[in-house]
Amino acid sequence: MGQIIAGCLAPHPPHLVYAENPPQNEAKAECGWEVLRWGYEKMRKHLKALKYDVLIVHSPHWRTQIGTHFLGVEHLKSKSVDPIFPHLFRYNYDLKVDVKLAESIHDEAKKLDLEVKMMRNPDFRVDYGTIVSCHMTNPDWDVPIVSISSNGAAQYFSFDVMQAQMFKLGEATRKAIEASGKRAVLLASHSLSHRHFVLEADPPEDMSKEHITHHGQYLWDMKMIELMKKGKSKEMIEILADFDEQTISEANGGGLSWMMSAMGFPTYPAEVYAYGTVIGTGNAIVEWNHLEKGVE
């Protein structure tokens, strides 16, 4: 039987890829955001040893108000240019999609009355949230991905409605993975607090200018991380709406709620690899490892 072996909070600031200077990205940096990048290094090394078959990523930058969509084309190759930070992220991607697993999650979600759709257009450009989280987790791109959109229900209805939908989507994801026989790693692609600076340092990687936008956001980020470290994922999800309201959090896209549901709301401590800010937003790299904790 397949299983979720790990789930990770995997934020997607394009600055991290920019600072890594991979050959795929046209923009080049001197350095920058090392604490977060080194955190990703530790996480990817740890995950690699687990020998996973697929990365499943939920991204708030693929926004689809009419239901949840899944990439449904086996090979996608193009260039992703970040509409907000085009000077930092112009990334030539070439990726494989596990379409069969994506279809299976789609079908399971449909059984739970969720609105779902497969994306079959070969000209489709993959969003930068998906690409950054996947690149930072697996820069070799030697494992196929499943990419899931965010449906914006938190804005259209309420945070609670969004969470209810994400809990169902998590359940559908778990069932499909179990039926697939594969070892899957889930990625919730988002930051914690998300109030940006509206100006940028010159150069952008000038770390003397990098800090949290304000202390209140930092305190909230620390509260969330404390709950993660104590294994209190249900408590974390219960206060997520308040966290979102106070910090303009990117969790309103649903990634963390989806992932926690798929993983059955872990009660063991998560591994926090790093916390750092990017243009004022709070970002944590965190892993919940079912395999090591003996969760089946």
Per CB under 8 A, residues contacting another protein are: 62-67, 69, 79, 81, 83-87, 90, 115, 117, 119-121, 123-125, 127, 149, 151-153, 155-156, 196, 198-200
3/64 with CB nearer another protein: 64
43/172 with CB nearer another protein: 172
33/288 with CB nearer another protein: 33
Task: State the burial class of residue 131 (Cβ atoms within 10 Å of its Cβ: 0-12, 13-18, 19+).
Answer: buried
Shortest CB 85 distance to another protein, Å: 8
- Side-chain-side CA neighbours of 108 within 13 Å: the count stands at 22
* CA-based nearest residue to 44, from 144, 128, 182, 136: 136
121/208 with CB nearer another protein: 121
Shortest CB 79 distance to another protein, Å: 4
User: 12 with 91: CB under 8 angstroms?
Assistant: no
196/223 with CB nearer another protein: 196
User: 146 with 119: CB under 8 angstroms?
Assistant: no
User: 57 with 187: CB under 8 angstroms?
Assistant: yes
The residues with which 286 forms a beta bridge, in sequence order, are 9, 272
**Beta strands 183-188; 54-63: pairing state:** parallel
Shortest CB 213 distance to another protein, Å: 11
Shortest CB 134 distance to another protein, Å: 17
Cα end-to-end span (Å), the chain: 10
Shortest CB 94 distance to another protein, Å: 15
**Beta strands 116-119; 68-71: pairing state:** parallel
For 116, phi and psi rounded to 5 degrees?
-140, 160
**Beta strands 68-71; 54-63: pairing state:** unpaired
Shortest CB 52 distance to another protein, Å: 27
Shortest CB 255 distance to another protein, Å: 17
Shortest CB 153 distance to another protein, Å: 7
User: 266 with 260: CB under 8 angstroms?
Assistant: yes
The residues with which 244 forms a beta bridge, in sequence order, are none
For 114, phi and psi rounded to 5 degrees?
-85, 145
162/270 with CB nearer another protein: 162
In angstroms, the CA 23 to CA 105 distance is 33
* CA-based nearest residue to 56, from 14, 122, 108: 108
233/249 with CB nearer another protein: 249
User: 275 with 247: CB under 8 angstroms?
Assistant: no
87/96 with CB nearer another protein: 87
